[in-house]
Amino acid sequence: MKIRMTIEGAVVTATLFDNQTSRDFISLLPLTLTLTDYAATEKVSDLPRKLSTKGAPAGSDPSIGDITYYAPWGNLAVFYKDFSYSNGLIKFGKIDSGGAILNRPGPLRATIEVMEK
C-alpha cells in the first residue's frame, strides 16, 4: 500500500508493509498530525489511538526513512537518521521519495493519506 504525506507543502511518498500495524494505521487515514523532533533522529506524533501490535517483533533497528510505531508510547515515529535497536519499535513502512523535508528543524504539519491506485 502506498501513502502520501504532504509535509509543509512538500510531498513524501512511502510504501507500507503488509502487517497488522500498517493495516491498523491505514484505518486512521486521512490524518493530519504535527510532527515534532525527538532526539535529533526522528519526527514523532501522537496518534488518535493505539495501533495493533499483533504478530510484531519485540523491537527493531531503525534506518533513515523508516516509518514506525513506538508501542510503549503509542506514537508514530519517522526516522531521518539511523538509530540503534529499540524494544517496542515496530517498522511498518519505508519512505520512497521526498524524505529530506524531515531534516527541517521544528514542528512540521503533515497530512497523511492513501494514494490512489
CATH number of 17's domain? 2.40.100.20
Q: Give the predicted TM-score (pTM) of the model.
A: 0.95
* pLDDT reading at 73 higher than 60: yes
Q: For 8-27, write each residue's pLDDT tens digit.
A: 999 999 999 999 999 999 99
* pLDDT reading at 109 higher than 60: yes
b/e per residue 81-100 (b: at least 16 CB within 10 A):
eebeebeebbbbbbbeebbe
**Domain extent at residue 51:** 2-114
41-58 average pLDDT score: 96
Provide the number of structural domains found in the chain.
1
